[in-house]
Structure 1
Amino acid sequence: MDEPQRHRILMVSDFFYPNFGGVESHIYYLSQCLIKLGHKVVVTTHAYGNRSGVRYMTGGLKVYYIPWRPFLMQNTLPTFYGTLPIIRTILIRERISVVHGHQAFSTLCHEALMHARTMGYKAVFTDHSLYRFADVGSIHMNKVLQFTLADIDQAICVSHTSKENTVLRSGIDPEKVFVIPNAVDTAMFTPAPKRLCYDEIVIVVISRLVYRKGADLLVEVIPEVCRLNPNVRFVIGGDGLKRVRLEEMREKYSLQDRVEMLGAVPHAQVRSVLVSGHIFLNSSLTEAFCIAILEAASCGLLTVSTRVGGVPEVLPDDMIVLAEPTPVDMTRAIKEAIEMLPNINPQAMHDRVKKLYSWQDVAKRTEVVYDRALLCSDVSLLQRLPRYLKCGPWAGKLFCLVMMINFWLWQLLQFWQPSKSIEEVPDILILENEDNEICGKLRMP
């Protein structure tokens, strides 16, 4: 009996462990579940400190930390063609069939997808964020996304709002875009063993303290909530440029005993911070999905969040209180949430999240996307160039020139170092035995 089709996937992004965030968690958990389904998964990211070269993570997940250093906000400096030799080598060594890039802001993602399409590999892209249309930074980013998605096989968005945003920004055919939400590891995020009393209401904030995450909104909301509710206390975990403003607010209103600043919270300690509270507060000004809300709900916390992006799609109405991103409406929502607390059952909330979201389901749905990508017909460079010309009268010509140069450099590399001279590595197939113990099986190419 023939084995089911197995994919060999290269996940590429500037955002991965040891850095922690929504994109990093998504790549890690998705990769682990795909490995358990029998697929080969390799991750490529840039070096983090002294973490360079090849590393192995849980489940046999292989990670290439290529020797590029972050330039801005964990992103590598754009080189266009500098990453071609190393990406080509990884693709050949690991016998990759699908290249899966993550996050529109990732330079390494865009370059890897460009090289993959040049070499004839199937390419899939996942967009994790929402972007605007008017400011200078978003205009440039949208043009880069238009270039990358002009020749992509399939794309994934984490919410329907994110899909609409991506389609409008890039002009990609909506039929190519799948909506697959994030998930949460409910085994890690569990409620406290004992239900907390309500003599003191603890509101937890765990977020990067930057403008996009609504840190300025917190500066206005927290003093007003503390004034109206003497028994409310805030616990704020996270770091960022706006942390100074929050500390100044705490000093100005003498809230040192009611606003606790934890600083950056390691991912392993997030659950312990969450279960110390009753309400989780998300003040983001833009979100495609927000995994933090799922983690809080899985720990049994009632969520108060701004009504932005894909947040309204995440939880049922009785598990979240939504508000417009204004101090007045956020204060109103927190008051409403406090009144709802006696009716909240943390364990029941955890069980509902467990049924709604699982990484196993995300992995199986992503398998379908890979299957669809492999069914896409192979096209030559000349057949692909018209796709770039549609990107604009000037940009289209520039994109065509970029791709032609990339093709010529690839041909030069093929001559200088033929593919057959690059040694292929054996696959390690991770299996589970009857006792759910992980065991490895070496499979030679």
Structure 2
Amino acid sequence: MASDFFYPNTGGVEEHIFNLSQCLIKRGHKVVVITHSYGKRVGIRYLTAGLKVYYLPITVMYAQCILPTMICNIALIRYILIRECVQIVHAHSAFSVLGHEVCIIGKLMGLKSVFTDHSLFGFADTSAVLTNKYLQICLCETDHCICVSHTGKENTVLRAKVKAHKVSVIPNAVDAYSFTPDPSQRDPDVITIVIVSRLVYRKGVDLMAAVIADMCPRYPNLRFLIGGDGPKMWLLQEIREKGFQHCVTLLGSLQHSQVRDVLVKGDIFLNTSLTEAYCMAIVEAASCGLKVVSTKVGGIPEVLPENMIYLTEPNVNSLVAGIEMALKDLNDGNILCPYECNRMVRKMYNWIDISRRTELVYDKISLNKNKSIGQQLRNYLTSGVWPFLLVISLMYLLLQFVEKIYKRKNIDIARDLKL
């Protein structure tokens, strides 16, 4: 598993990599994770079930991603791939530069590669155009792609120009045994709306603030419990200072182990995302028995059945109307049993099933024949970025040079001595 995003950082990608790795280990596979250093966490660490994590000493450039040099980390990544007898490289997240680099180096070494896309992208702004072109280049030689929703698959096929038959849809999952309901934690005197999200523009914090400002004066028994941090935190602090201190509580950044304890205090979970491929948060909230109100963007309509979610348009009036419908159903008692919600989520999304489906992808690509460097260059040529062929050629030559300096048999001997 290779990605810039892993623990101790928190998020959907990090949780996906960890839980998928744990299940694959239980099913008899050997799994290692390659990521960059996080603060003082550098070198090799072992997590639950003996999951081995390489925190490489690479400096972060922006938003937890390394600088895309393509050549500076070749020797180190090659050493790890040979030392750990890696057969399949599985990269995660289109934003992850390290994931793409490990995939490309792995392909040049004759390994199989899989890429999982966790996000949706646009096509118009400069950032999206550059990201999409970079993704198209990096996926030219990838054996297979996985998306977390059908909407995400359509998006990836269009923006990265990947053939549809090389893309599978395997959703995220949730540990429903950890996210269990506890109705006794709710305050019976008020209605609590819980929001757990990164406070960034993509998560619709502007909508969130407008909804709070609209509803708090009209519903005195309404309380907002908000967990998460980010550059948009100031907007919620500003709203809170306008006389809403009693009904808006900001919890700040949360550890993933703390999320369930926050969710069980709520009656309604609110998601205001402007774009979302899957949205793990609403599944965790449903597993805890909350009524979910969410914008119907991206792959969200595919995630939960109609009786567990109120879907709204991404605007203030629609979100307010959705919350009012949820409030009405709560007052009328027209709600599902929280424990029944947990059982439904447990059947729909579990990591054992996800790992089995991922195994099928691994089995399929293991039959693919390795391509020569000439065939790989021709595939990269289809991206239309001719200078990138020089980069790939240089990476290949550097791999051959490193092979002369530090041969594979020396790595095998070092590994055997370590064992």
TM-score > 0.5, shorter chain as reference: yes
Partner-residue secondary structure (3-state), 1:40: coil
Instruction: Tell me how large the CA RMSD over aligned residues is.
Output: 1.5
Aligned residues: 415
Segments of structure 1 that go 5 or more residues without pairing to the other structure are 1-10, 428-443
Q: Deviations over 1:95-153 (max 9, x none)?
A: 00000000000110111111111111100000000011011011000011001111110
Deviating runs (4+, > 6 A) in structure 1?
424-427
Instruction: Specify whether residues 193 and 41 from structure 1 end up closer, same or farther in structure 2 by C-alpha distance, changes over 3 A only.
Output: same
Aligned-residue offset at 1:426: 7.1
User: Which residues in structure 2 correspond to 1:286-435 (within 5 Å)?
Assistant: 286-341=275-330, 342-344=333-335, 345-392=337-384, 395=385, 397-423=386-412
Q: Which amino acid aligns with 2:370?
A: D
1:271 aligns with 2:263: no
Match for residue 137 of structure 2 among 133, 147, 152: 147
8 Å contact kept, 1:93–1:424: no
Aligned-residue offset at 1:90: 0.5
Quick one: distance in 1 between partners of 2:60 and 2:5?
10
Quick one: distance in 1 between partners of 2:59 and 2:199?
24
Aligned-residue offset at 1:410: 0.7
1:214 paired residue number: 204
Aligned-residue offset at 1:194: 3.1
TM-score (norm 1): 0.91
8 Å contact kept, 1:92–1:424: no
Aligned-residue offset at 1:199: 3.3
Partner-residue secondary structure (3-state), 1:17: coil
Match for residue 76 of structure 1 among 66, 84, 93: 66
Aligned-residue offset at 1:414: 0.8
Partner-residue secondary structure (3-state), 1:297: helix
1:112 aligns with 2:102: yes
8 Å contact kept, 1:26–1:182: yes
1:90 paired residue number: 80
Q: Deviations over 1:235-285 (max 9, x none)?
A: 011111111111111112x10000001111111111110000001111111
Q: Which amino acid aligns with 1:187?
A: Y
Aligned-residue offset at 1:327: 0.5
TM-score (norm 2): 0.97
Aligned-residue offset at 1:78: 1.6
8 Å contact kept, 1:99–1:116: yes
Segments of structure 2 that go 5 or more residues without pairing to the other structure are none
1:22 paired residue number: 12
Aligned-residue offset at 1:196: 3.9
8 Å contact kept, 2:185–2:265: no
Instruction: Specify whether residues 243 and 195 from structure 1 end up closer, same or farther in structure 2 by C-alpha distance, changes over 3 A only.
Output: closer
Partner-residue secondary structure (3-state), 1:194: helix
Quick one: distance in 1 between partners of 2:34 and 2:147?
21
8 Å contact kept, 2:151–2:277: yes
Aligned-residue offset at 1:198: 4.8
